[in-house]
């Protein structure tokens, strides 16, 4: 019961923090922060507590494969965002995620290191195809339902993924764990409120943050079962943050300079 309460408390708190940062410093910073393992780490920890450390370590392999599907999802959105309606762009992105997951986990099953070797070029390609960030336009004031809707969407997704883990097994649970639970609500709301450019900024930031998420999963797989669980997750989260925080610092300075 306490674990369910933690899921319902931690996820909306993180979503609120990232959304507040996005409003203050722009969509790029929001995307970068959403790319940190803010939901990946809690889901992995929940799996370790509920299903065991070996289950969580094996799920990290599926998560590395799932990150390739997330990169395919981002790639599809970047290619479609300025060419079609927001609804169709989001549908294309979700279809790309499903197809990427089927190919990488259902058919190819590359394993941890080959999955990482596939993920990195895909992430770089997403960044290369994102148009240069522009100075943000004056943001409209979000409606009252905006923040509650974001919190509800992200919390529901975390409960769904972790709740289905016993039925799905380690591999498929791992594939679903990197679903951009925080970044995709940010992308959708940025598109509706501030336009295509703002949503692309979230994608760019999320792609940059994905390098940290990949580092997190590699560390989790290598350390769980070899050292105590608290130290394993502490090291994994620290390495992930080290990969992402320099980008956050640069992005914040750029955002501050644009609004100065």
Residues 166-180 have pLDDT tens digits of 777 777 777 776 776
Angle (CA) 22-163-70 rounded to 5° is: 45
Q: Is 28 a residue whose pLDDT tops 70?
A: no
In a domain, 167, yes or no: yes
Report which of residues 176 and 96 the model is more confident about: 96
Q: Is 237 a residue whose pLDDT tops 80?
A: yes
Report which of residues 138 and 124 the model is more confident about: 124
Residues contacting 180, CB < 8 A, separation 6+? 34, 70, 73, 187, 206
Using pLDDT thresholds of 50, 70 and 90, give the confidence band for residue 255: low
Q: Is 232 a residue whose pLDDT tops 60?
A: yes
Q: Is 140 a residue whose pLDDT tops 60?
A: no
Using pLDDT thresholds of 50, 70 and 90, give the confidence band for residue 134: low
- Distance, C-alpha 44 to centroid of its chain: 13
When pLDDT is averaged across residues 121-140 and rounded to a whole number, the result is 75
Max Cα-Cα span within the chain: 52
Half-sphere exposure of 94 (CA within 13 A, CB side): 11
Range with the poorest average pLDDT among 29-38, 54-63, 151-160: 29-38
In a domain, 66, yes or no: yes
| 149-168 per-position pLDDT tens digit | 767 776 776 777 667 767 77
d(CA 192, CA 85): 11
Report which of residues 161 and 52 the model is more confident about: 52
In a domain, 142, yes or no: no
Q: Is 34 a residue whose pLDDT tops 70?
A: no
In a domain, 247, yes or no: yes
Beta-carbon count within 10 A of 248 CB: 22
The predicted structure's pLDDT at residue 228: 92
Q: Is 235 a residue whose pLDDT tops 90?
A: yes
In a domain, 141, yes or no: no
In a domain, 94, yes or no: yes
The predicted structure's pLDDT at residue 1: 46
The predicted structure's pLDDT at residue 260: 46
Q: Which domain holds residue 253?
A: 2-132+147-259
In a domain, 57, yes or no: yes
d(CA 1, CA 172): 24
Beta-carbon count within 10 A of 72 CB: 23
Nearest alpha carbon to residue 69 among 107, 98, 26, 27? 98
Task: Report the range out of 35-44, 174-183, 227-236 with the highest average pLDDT.
Answer: 227-236
In a domain, 182, yes or no: yes
The predicted structure's pLDDT at residue 20: 76
Tally of domains within the chain: 1
Look at phi and psi of residue 133 and say left if phi exceeds 0, alpha if psi is from -120 to 50, else beta: beta
Contact criterion met (CB below 8 Å) for 41 and 21? no
When pLDDT is averaged across residues 184-211 and rounded to a whole number, the result is 81
């Amino acid at each position: 019961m306490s674990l369910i309460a933690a899921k319902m408390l931690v996820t909306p708190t993180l979503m609120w923090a990232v959304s507040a940062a996005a409003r203050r410093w722009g969509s790029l910073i929001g995307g970068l922060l959403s790319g940190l393992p803010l939901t990946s780490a809690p889901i992995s920890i929940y799996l370790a507590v509920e299903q065991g450390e070996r289950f969580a370590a094996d799920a990290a392999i599926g998560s590395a494969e799932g990150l390739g599907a997330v990169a395919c999802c981002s790639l599809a959105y970047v290619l479609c965002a300025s060419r079609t309606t927001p609804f169709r762009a989001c549908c294309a992105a979700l279809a790309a995620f499903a197809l990427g997951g089927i190919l990488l986990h259902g058919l190819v099953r590359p394993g941890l290191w080959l999955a990482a070797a596939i993920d990195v070029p895909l992430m770089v390609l997403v960044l290369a195809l994102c148009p240069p960030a522009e100075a943000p336009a004056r943001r409209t004031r979000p409606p009252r339902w905006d923040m509650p809707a974001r919190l509800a969407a992200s919390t529901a997704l975390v409960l769904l993924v972790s709740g289905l883990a016993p039925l799905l097994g380690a591999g498929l649970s791992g594939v679903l764990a990197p679903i951009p639970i925080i970044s995709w609500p940010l992308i959708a709301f940025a598109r509706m409120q501030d336009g295509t450019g703002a949503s692309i900024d979230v994608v760019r930031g999320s792609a940059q943050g994905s390098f940290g998420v990949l580092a997190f999963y590699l560390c989790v797989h290598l350390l769980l079962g070899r050292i105590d669980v608290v130290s394993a997750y502490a090291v994994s989260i620290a390495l992930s943050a080290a990969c992402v925080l320099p980008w956050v610092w640069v992005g914040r300075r750029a955002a501050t300079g644009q609004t100065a």
